[in-house]
Every structure is written in structure tokens, then in C-alpha cells.
Chains A and B, each alone.
Chain A
Amino acid sequence: MSTHIPDVIDHLAGIQPGSSLDTLRDQRPQARENAQKSYLALFEPDFPGTVTALERHAVATFVAGLHRQPQVIDFYAAALRTLGSPEIALTIDAEIARGAVEGPYGRYPEGPLTAEDTTGPDYQVSADHRDQLGARLVAALQHAHLLVFHPRDANPAALQRLLDAGWSTTDIVTLSQLVAFLSFQIRVVAGLRALAGASARASAGADHMQIFTGVLASGAV
């Protein structure tokens, strides 16, 4: 789908070759290379098993949407539409709007940490969309919401719901990796974008300072 993009994190974070962030990322070359290999293993797998490309991109679009990270949403939603599912993309959009809250929340095992329990919604796909999405995708979106916002509420029953919807044990490992990887990728993109923005503003401030001192030195004021 996107093999023409050599580094998806650079692409999503707007990092140009030769920029200072490009140089900084190169200081951790294995992490950089393997973040890309993780992306490829999840979205262009050599051995896809029984998790379809549509399922992978539909869940990714949903996860990106829940994180409200525009560049990442556009990237996965475009891939989803290219897979021939503009209708699914629209439905995912509607489900993002229904599922968007703030995390992390959740409960701890009963004990001293119970005082820190915070509750939030237990998201369910809208009844209107269940037939269109199918049992597998409905279960996957519900599980993805749990992992994104309240992973400490996870339990064997949540995995049983995936098994009951037709996800095999191996499929569940792939799905869990996909949601967890995106939680990483989106944070790297958001973090690097914030750092680039802060640096750009700092250097704009410094330039402004230089012009100002230059003006002072020229005696123009």
C-alpha cells in the first residue's frame, strides 16, 4: 500500500532528510529501522495469516481517530479507502466520534490502589453499524477501545469475546500488537512534532532577538 514511503514515522511527523530531527533519529538507527519493520510486519505482512488487510486498516483508522492525531488518521483512512471500503471508512469515522474520550482510566485489583480507580465508558459499537462491520470487526473495535483508553481493565473475558467472534489465538496476538504498536507510533509522531514545533519557535524567537539587537546596534531607534 505504502511501500513507496521509506519511513512512515518521518512521513507522519513531517521530518525532512537532513533536518535536525532526521539527524537525531539516526542516533538510534536500530529503533528507527525496526519501527518501520514493525509497521511493515503489521500492514504489509509477508505472512498475513487470517487477519485481513481491511481489518488491519479499519482498526488502525479507529485507533488513530481515538488519538485525534490528524496526520495519522488521514494516512490510515486513505489506505482503508484504497482497499475499496469508503463505506467502512465512513462508519469508522462515526464510531470514532462515538468512542472518543480521554485516557488512561480503569480499575486496579482490589487493595490499596482501589483509591486510584477511575471509571470511563465501556464502548460498544452502535447497533446500526453491527451488520455492516460484521462480528469480527465489531469485536476488534471494542477491544481496541479498551486497549487505547483503559488497558488496565483488560481481562480474559475480553479475549474470550474476540475468540467468540472468530478471532483465533494467533489473530488476537496480531490484533493486540497492532493496537499497541500504533499507541507507540502515534506518540513518537506527536512527540517529534511537538519537539520540532518548540525548536522552530525557539529559533524564530532567537532570530527576532538578533534583528532587534541589530536594530539597536545600528542606532535606528
Chain B
Amino acid sequence: MTETTLSHPGNREPVAFTQEELGWLPWLEPFPAEQLTERHWAGLVDASRAKSPYFLLLARDPDVLQARTKTDKDIFYNTRDGLPRAERELAATATSRSNGCIFCASVHSRFATQFSKRGADIQRLLDEGVDVDIDPRWNAVIAASVALTETPVAFGDAQIEALRTAGLDDLEIVDVINGAAFFNWANRLMLSLGEPAARSVSAG
């Protein structure tokens, strides 16, 4: 096994937040796809993820990857009550915008646009940043996500009051907390283990 970092001198990293599809290039050697065992496949959860260098890299610790992926799916895809999908993706986008993860923000801004049909508002969040003034409900979700993203965490009564005033009940607030918290996990992996790439360069 090569114990060295990978570099991509030909890659031109995106320099702005975008809703375009981006690729991602790893800085460490992913787990070799042809050596995947049953435990690795369980870690990948969806077999299609074996095509992704990001998930193949994380598959080096398959038990953590499996638990991470199942946590992610329930927070974002379990639509039994709670916050609408669009606003969970808004929390993910605002968190990624705040941490500065151009790749994560590209994926989740697309989802937010898809579910909300408000691509122009999402684009303003990407272009203007997390202080953008959209409407009271979205502003409250963005502000809560940003406060949760600060270190130390700055989320408290003021953000909860704003969410309640905007009409969120406690389950919806828990969804905001989980969504923003989860992207503080995801952003750190994406930002520190590789780099975004224009889609044409990465080829998957």
C-alpha cells in the first residue's frame, strides 16, 4: 500500500459556491475496489457508492462509514413528520456555506432547489453568504444552522425563539439541529480528505 498523499496538479479547483455538479479528488488512496470484503460492502450501504473515491476512501474504516451513512439517511430522508425535505437541505447548505465546503454546498444546494423550487433564493445564499435576507422562516433556519456551526456552539434561546416564531415545532427544530450537526461531520471529511473538481476533470 502506498503511504503517501495524492496530488492533482492538473485540477482547477472551483473558486466560488455553485449549484453545478462537481467532482471530488481524494488526497489519500481509496480502498482498492477489487479487494472489498463483505464488511466493506456493508459499510458502503449502497453498492453504487463503490464507484465513488470518497466512499471508497472512507471504506477503510467500514463500521464507522456504515453507521455514519445510516445516520445521514434518517436525518435527511425520513420524512415522517418534521421539517420539509427542502428545509433540511437548506440547513445542510447553510452549514456548508458557513464552514466553506464548496463541494458539499454544491450537492445540497441542488437538493434544496429541487425540493423548494426556489433556486434563485438558494443561489443568493451561495452568492451573498449566510447573512442573506430571504424570508423569516428561511432566515431562521439559516441562522440556527450557522450558530450550530460555530465553535464553540452559539445556538441558544435566540435561535430557538426565531425558529418558533417562524412556525417550527419541536420536532422540526430537532431536524434543524440534526441536519446542521450532521453537516459539521460531513464538511470536515470532504474538506480535509480531498478537493472539489470541475465535473469534466474528475470523471466520477
Contact = CB atoms under 8 A, between A and B. Distances in A.
Interface string A167-183: 01110111011011101
Contacts of A30: 70-71, 73-74, 78
- Interface bin, chain A: 35 or more
Contact of B61 (A177, A190, A199): A177
Interface in B138-166: 148-153, 155-157, 159-161
A113 B5 CA distance: 26
Q: Is the interface of B mostly helix, strand, loop or mixed?
A: helix
Q: Would you call the interface of chain A mostly helix, strand, loop, or mixed? A: helix
Given A103-B151, A169-B60, A198 B157 contact: yes
A156 B61 contact: no
A187 B78 contact: no
Contacts of B82: 27-28
Contacts of B13: 109
Contacts, number: 219
A2 interface: no
Q: Which of B13, B27, B149, B159 has the most C-beta atoms of chain A within 10 angstroms of its own C-beta?
A: B27
A146 to B, nearest CB: 7
Interface of A: 20-21, 24-25, 27-31, 33-35, 37-38, 40-42, 45-47, 49, 66-69, 102-104, 106, 108-113, 116, 146-149, 151-152, 154-160, 163, 168-170, 172-174, 176-177, 179-181, 183-188, 190-192, 194-195, 197-199, 201
